[in-house]
Amino acid sequence: MTFLKRMLEQSRLPLTVGQFWWYSFCYWSIFAVITFGQLMMLWLLKEGVVMRPHEMFIWLLDGLFWWSTSPLVLWASIKVPIAFKVRETSSIIRPLLIHLVIITLCNIFINTLHYFITNPLMYSAVGKSVPLESYLFSFFIAYTASVGQYLLLVVGFNKVSYIYQYQELKQQHFETELHNEQLRGQLANAQLQSLKMQLNPHFLFNSLHSVISLMIKNDIRKATLMITTLSDLLRAVLANQSADFIPLQEELKLTRQYLDIQQIRFQDRLQVEYHIDPASELYPVPQLILQPIVENSITHGISDMTTNALIRITSTVSAAGMQVNIYDNGIGAAQRKPSNGLGLGLKNTSLRLQQAYGDQARLQFDQPPGGGTSVTLFFDGRPMAGGDGGRVTADG
């Protein structure tokens, strides 16, 4: 019983031991009924020839014997599978020869058992026996049928076993891919969170530096107003801290709050313009993706301007995707002073775009002929699954 359970586990067949014996009984019974029908037709054609009780007993023993060999057939089909491989004719000849040896030995065994054990017992019981010639005749006549039945069962076991093994491997592959995809998503989220955690302190420190500058100048009113505005901005950022992506309209609110802080500092020197396509407002973007670009425009573009400083934010939507452009009329990228903050903020932005969108988003610098600097974010598609694009919040 343990042997049969082990064989069933190796074959991947979803059968219990009881089910295996039942299906085997049905399989061999089909051929037994066919054989009995053939014998009946033979007896009807030969007048006066009928099956005697002891012959029916032998026929019944034959059926039980082949039924009992089902575990052997299962074992043989696992150990020596019949599988034809293209351009390898020998791949099927060797297994066939091995199975022919097995079925031949089984036929020799059953006939030898009948002749040396069943026959003497039957002679003692009814005084009649079957001559050796009849066993030899039965061996050669039944051999072809037994070979066909045996090979059909072996091939059937192989095919059904392969189907279940393939389905199991396919399911395992699917589960593995799903698990790997989940791990990739978790890794992407962790990387996005790490980038965001780098960005928030960077932005906060720069804002606090502006507050300190105002306090040094003894401009308490502006410093107080800036701290209040900064508090509102941080509250909005924290409200969305669990979301990697927010609608563009919410991102623009954060950007406006940041620029409000800067306008307190620059007063009438800074003008901010917005040209936002309504179709772009619900487009999901990484949180605080615009802030480092705007900060870069202020810190390295217009900070030294004494009047008419301009920052313009424009968004457009087309069949190719969405574009967000941040333009400033400052001194231009070629003349900007190098800064660690510049490297951190914009490198962080580029990394976040790559992490969230892959090749479907990019950041581009331009210097318009009239001067200033233009930074454009191109979004060719929605965020990738690994970037958790579905987690979008509309809370302000």
The DSSP code sequence of 179-224 is HHHHHHHHHHHHHHHHHHHHHHHHHHHHHHHHHHHHHHTT-HHHHH
Residues belonging to the chain: 396
- Indicate whether 210 and 266 sit together in one domain: yes
For 239-306, the three-class secondary structure string (H helix, E strand, C coil) is: HCCCCCEEEHHHHHHHHHHHHHHHHHHHHHHEEEEEEECHHHCCCEEECCCCHHHHHHHHHHHHCCCC
Q: Is the pTM of this model over 0.95?
A: no
- Indicate whether 122 and 216 sit together in one domain: no
Is 168 inside a domain boundary?
no
- Indicate whether 340 and 213 sit together in one domain: yes
Beta bridge pairs of residue 245:
286, 392
Q: What is the DSSP string of 324-336?
A: EEEEE-SS-GGGP
- Indicate whether 222 and 358 sit together in one domain: yes
- Indicate whether 210 and 353 sit together in one domain: yes
- Indicate whether 125 and 186 sit together in one domain: no
Is 372 inside a domain boundary?
yes
Is 393 inside a domain boundary?
no
- Indicate whether 306 and 215 sit together in one domain: yes
DSSP 385: G
Q: Which two tokens stand for residue 105?
A: 């030995």
Is 249 inside a domain boundary?
yes
Tens of pLDDT along the chain (396 residues)?
A: 677 777 777 777 777 888 888 888 888 888 777 777 776 776 666 655 555 665 666 667 777 888 888 888 888 888 887 765 545 555 678 788 888 888 888 878 877 777 777 777 766 666 666 666 666 666 676 777 778 888 888 888 878 877 877 887 888 888 888 877 766 665 555 555 544 544 456 567 767 887 888 788 888 888 888 888 888 877 877 776 667 788 999 999 888 888 888 888 777 788 999 999 999 999 998 877 888 888 888 877 887 787 888 999 999 998 888 999 999 988 764 455 444 444 556 777 787 788 778 888 888 888 887 788 899 999 986 665 444 443 343 333
- Check which CATH number belongs to the domain holding 277 and give it: 3.30.565.10
Is 144 inside a domain boundary?
no
- Indicate whether 201 and 320 sit together in one domain: yes
Q: What range does the domain containing 332 cover?
A: 178-387
Is 150 inside a domain boundary?
no
**Residue 378 parent element (H or E):** strand 373-379
Site of tokens 């006066």:
48
What domain count does the chain have?
2
- Indicate whether 330 and 234 sit together in one domain: yes
